[in-house]
Structure 1
């Protein structure tokens, strides 16, 4: 009798968590539609998301006095720099130096505010991540690439969650995130690979090309499969990095802004390494 009651409680909590994740996804749909509809709205969304991410990190690290003006200025610089690069004709090395310089300045500022070098390193990665996303957004096919990446990472997250709960097994990183399993990680990686093939495979079959920074690129099947595997791995590593920072600072979620998903930083941790990797991938393609 007790066992049946325990099973019912577990089933209830599983359904409750799934329902919360579904509600959180529904709340994100208008943002996805606005992102696709307008490049201006997409840029504004990038600024708002980056401000919320840095505010959540600062709050977890005990920095509660960051003025909104400073956060908006930081978000503006990180997100609007591609416009300056286009106006003044910056070369690739110049853009690289600017982004790395901005990231290092933010890291130094974060160290002075918190005294925590590891969390400051995470802040540096966040700056590079957001700046990479802004660069991709400014490309001719930028919104398509970002939405495709979002769909692939969403498939990874969902598969990792449900496969991990259904199969269980050894923990992936118990010291960092006790609920993550190796089976979930493998399921997430396979789902990412499948999503990448379904999204980009038809482009190869139909000989479709898209423009990356003025150059036409057509992905081969090898590149699609390799890219899918790399995205699956990097998305989950980004998740673990954010989990490590939260555990270091004593938090389970970065905030409670999105039902079933936690905060903005929790929702976008999968992009931490995948956005810079996407730029490198297409530069080498």
Structure 2
């Protein structure tokens, strides 16, 4: 049986993938930053941060297939990714499944999408087989944005086909299960992971209001207003630019495409924003 490893195994996506693999009888190696957060049942745990080359090399020895969940957002995330990829290749990893971003491009409006594109290029050049899961913004993210009653930003009337975290995890698990069983190699494939529909921010606010019964509005800003309203956080320039470009990427239309790749990989329809809200509330 091939050895499967999952990075970010105590995080949201990685943790869900681990649970799905275990439910199908696999015992993946868990790569974590803090061993104390690893589940008690885990008997194959490796501690390695993305930029720690010796730790990564040791953690990935003997691994055949690897889920590389993108590192936490930071100014040096690309450097961390490149270091991790280099050590994965040196450790003999055969296949990397990477959580990328929809419409990743060096000129993408969403600034962090550019990092994903360069990471994809590093994987293409690594000599390892690769699969890209290019997920849209998470539907869960927009629910979190609306927690205080408003979604605020310069998204205009642009649409986004947001995808549920559950669906991203299910797709990652499906690919890894195929690799483990030899049923499909997925080598060189890039899957666009979206929800079933593209919605505007005004529609997102309306859906959240209708499902939860809690009033939510969309307040449209200009780009200048968006930067000004976020200035009080005192965040670094790269981070503020990422926050604002989340909305301008939606406004640009770059994230409006709806794909059937979730259904192709999992065999079921992707969850809508309303579905995710109902899941959270425990209702159907």
- TM-score normalized by the length of structure 2: 0.31
Higher helix share: 1
Higher strand share: 2
